[in-house]
Structure 1
């Protein structure tokens, strides 16, 4: 009898130990979440002024960082770059960037300064090209002045992160020496952290990641053709892109930052997130796409977080009501973001 009780006790102990191990392993597997450095939003520049209410709303949703975007305009025919134009919105010009940064710092937020180029409607900057070396050199001199002016501003205003280029794949591929010398000039002016925003389809071809603090990706990866993609299906679709990012992380030992990521509240929101060609309003598709991104990427220690596209500083995003747009404001996706940013 004693022997029977002893065997039974040992059996129960083994079962209990196995359950304990399984339970703790399962919890560990599902509860790991990397600490995001940047719980960010790309801020659409205010037209005239930036109000405290904008930052009150950002803080209420656990956003700890914003991206400020001083746009410049490219005249392709003259191979020139123009910025700080008085016709531009206040928030895109130097005075607006300075004031916006100061207000962000008052709210204990970090800031990324991210210059963007605008060529013309529906022109992708990654395709920017010139037929002669003289044209390239003229454009590069213009672009360098634009970037160094804002690098100096970033240094003066203690801006924590500077992104010196956005989706300029053809230029980077054809003129790598130009970009290396530009990085060295930036570093002489600016002592904060440095990144570049590569497009999702060419981030592994950028030759200068070793010179920077983060691998920056505008992360509009294609994931699903479904009208309303399921989170589980999106999670599976992410894996091919994650493998590519992990390979680059292993090669460079650099963390990966999503300088942009986002989805419109439309049908097929995750099919080609960089396009604006879907017309059916679909808030669930947008929310599911955000949820999947956070579920998959926050499992990776190399993921530094990123900046969602986009947050309007002005109230005009409310007109017309229920329109399709990237902003998660007043949409279910915002609660998803808030949860994961908490």
Structure 2
């Protein structure tokens, strides 16, 4: 009798322990940092083989970026989802890409954004008349709504409703507030907006979103090749500002883009994407990422971020001689893999 009672009690305790353990694991998984990759849209279809290198760096979320195009900063016409666009920039490619991510247990952020002819900065988009503003807003809403419906039907985890559009955001607050409210009626996932680092404190609608989205190209150091400690020190004033914005809005910070080139002075003007010949500095790219991870990935008010950027054809992407942002086949790739392989929770 005593043995039987002991056995029953043991079974009950074991069951309770297993339940607590399971609950704990589930809680950890749902609050895990967003270890994101920004996947560059491909001209042709991508395959399951193209996803494996993303998994190997321990990423858990991929940003997919369908594009709309404008002819100039003040042109009210927005072109998108056209047959002549690359496969990865259109509705068809986005849907198939989401399916591929799902098969490899990757979450998705859908991030429709604009490209302006000659690479002009989207933050300066500004119409010349009220009529042009209204026309542009109608087309922008149509653009975002197309991908919002896809995000909902495919159960996409995060939707980014705009990228670096400060003048538009500043000039037309009523449009943006209504847009957010309308998207909430269609989409049940998390919403964010990606603002450039120097305007992050000027956005008025952070509290209406789920994440404060920041494209984190903060200038950290003016030296040719600063050390990790010097880079971390460069983060101090920005980190404090980010924390204040998070506390004020009540929303966690999400780096909707972050990254560095493997060149000298990469931490001086991290946003510089010019293709002028520059001296290669693979160590600085790796160290700058290391400093960023050390500063942010353990903060409870920080949700994670999306590395800029990653190409689907990994075998031929990047490399030591390539001086653009991708860490692929460079020393920085191992830094990403190491940090993304750790477990940091909010």
TM-score bracket for the superposition, by shorter chain length? 0.7 to 0.9
- Rg bigger for which structure? 1
Whether the 8 Å contact between 2:309 and 2:326 is mirrored in structure 1 is yes
The normalised TM-score by structure 1 is 0.87
Comparing 97-106 with 46-55, greater Cα deviation is found at 46-55
User: For residues 174 and 276 of structure 1, what CA distance do their matches in structure 2 show?
Assistant: 27
The alpha carbon displacement at 1:192 in A equals 0.6
The match for 1:167 is 164
2:45 matches 1:66: no
- In the other structure, the counterpart of 2:287 is 288
Residue in 2 that maps onto 1:214: 211
Distance 1:241 1:317, change over 3 A: farther
Task: For residues 67-125 of structure 1, give each alpha carbon's deviation from its aligned partner in whole angstroms, at most 9, with x where no partner exists.
Answer: 00001001336411111112211011111100100110111111000011001223100
> 1:313 aligns to what?
312
Unaligned segments of structure 1, at least 5 residues:
1-34
* Native 8 Å contact 2:320 2:330 kept in 1: no
Where does residue 112 of structure 1 map in the other structure?
Answer: 109
**1:327 counterpart residue number:** 326
State the TM-score, normalizing by the size of structure 2.
0.86
Name the CA distance, whole Å, in 2 between partners of 1:79 and 1:141: 10
Q: Which of 251, 259, 262 lines up with 2:259 in the alignment?
A: 262
Superposed CA RMSD in Å reads 1.5
Consecutive unaligned residues of structure 2, counting only runs of 5 or more, are 1-30, 342-346
**1:202 is aligned to 2:215:** no
Output the CA distance in 2 between the equivalents of 1:317 and 1:169: 36
1:56 aligns with 2:26: no
8 A contact 1:47–1:314 mirrored in 2? no
How far 1:37 moved relative to its partner?
2.3
- Taking a change above 3 Å as real, the CA distance of residues 319 and 198 of structure 1, as seen in their structure-2 partners, is closer
Task: State the secondary structure of the residue aligned to 1:121.
Answer: helix
- 1:245 and 1:311 map into 2 onto residues whose CA distance is 26
Structure-1 separation of matches of 2:292 and 2:88? 29
Q: What is the match of residue 336 of structure 2?
A: 337
Seen in structure 2, the aligned counterparts of structure 1 residues 90 and 139 have a Cα distance that, compared at 3 Å, is same
Give the whole-Å Cα distance in 1 for the aligned partners of 2:75 and 2:280: 40
Alpha-carbon distance in structure 2 between the residues aligned to 1:299 and 1:130: 42
Deviation at 1:317, TM superposition (A): 5.1
**Matched-pair contact (CA < 8 Å) for 2:50–2:314:** no
Please list, as runs of the form range in 1=range in 2, the aligned pairs for 1:138-287 lying within 5 A after superposition: 138-277=135-274, 279-287=278-286
